[in-house]
Amino acid sequence: MAGLEGWALHGLRRSFKSLTEWLEIPAGVVAQLMGHKPSATAERHCTVRPLDLLRVRHEKIAAWIVKEAKVPFAPQASAHTGLRSVA
């Protein structure tokens, strides 16, 4: 649908996982961002990651990818101060 011939969604997911190694993002965070269920007992029962922590890590990954691709991008200052209800 995106017009990217020769690319599969699974391949992009695999690339995303591999690129996070460069940023030393914890494996559990990457797995959660990718929608995987926790695999280890500690991940299932002891690790709690607030959505804001995942957002910070995801923004770091996105900024790195954009920088490495040499795409001009100036992020806007975020007024985000936490979770809020949207009606």
Ranges under pLDDT 50 in the chain: none
The pLDDT value recorded for residue 80 is 59
The Cα 49–Cα 57 span in angstroms is 11
The pLDDT value recorded for residue 5 is 78
The Cα 11–Cα 70 span in angstroms is 22
> Which pTM value belongs to this model?
0.63
Residue 85 is assigned to a structural domain of this protein:
no
The pLDDT value recorded for residue 8 is 77
Residue 52 is assigned to a structural domain of this protein:
yes
The Cα 32–Cα 49 span in angstroms is 9
Report the domain count for the chain.
1
Residue 1 is assigned to a structural domain of this protein:
no
Compute the radius of gyration of the chain from its Cα atoms.
Answer: 15
The pLDDT value recorded for residue 79 is 59
